[in-house]
Amino acid sequence: MARKGGKTIYIAALVLFLGEVGYLVATGVTKDSVYFLNVGEALATDSSHLKQARLFGNVAAQDIEPMRPGPGVSFTLLDKDNPAKTMRVRYRGAVPDAFKAGAEVIVEGGIDPAGQTFMASTLITKCPSKYQKQNRG
């Protein structure tokens, strides 16, 4: 009889352990979840869902404006597949050296309350091709 009671304790402990792990995974995933979208997908998404998101695309050649005062930049982000779809981005912070018209970028942040401008807290540029290994055949 003592053996049966011992098994019950192990089963109960296992169930509690799995429940705790499941809870930690579920809360960790929902708190750190960030949408990763292109510009067209962001435009089609309800702005209330874009409070925290990552967008990727290309920097438009026109309308690149340095932020005043301080470091930062305001620019238009183009959808990579459909350049007619655009979103205005404002970023405050150090601008990467590789940032220029036509550069592929990823911005992280959220949409402003009016739903017109993406307020980026992070700006990452894709490394230019000059840094990629060249075939010297």
pLDDT, tens digit (0-9, with 9 covering 90-100), for 56-67: 999 999 989 998
Q: What would the CATH number be for the domain defined by 34-131?
A: 2.40.50.140
Q: Which two tokens stand for residue 58?
A: 């290309």
Q: What is 36-75 written as a DSSP string?
A: EEEHHHHHHS-GGG-SSEEEEEEE-SS--EE-SSSSEEEE
Q: Which amino acid is at 109?
A: G
**What's the confidence (pLDDT) of residue 132?**
54
- pLDDT-based confidence at 12, cuts 50/70/90? confident
Residue-wise pLDDT tens digits, 103-114: 999 999 998 877
Which pTM value belongs to this model?
0.69
Cα–Cα distance list, 25 to 20, 21, 53 (Å): 9, 6, 20
- Are 56 and 105 in contact by the 8 Å Cβ rule? The answer is yes
Place of tokens 């350049």: 83
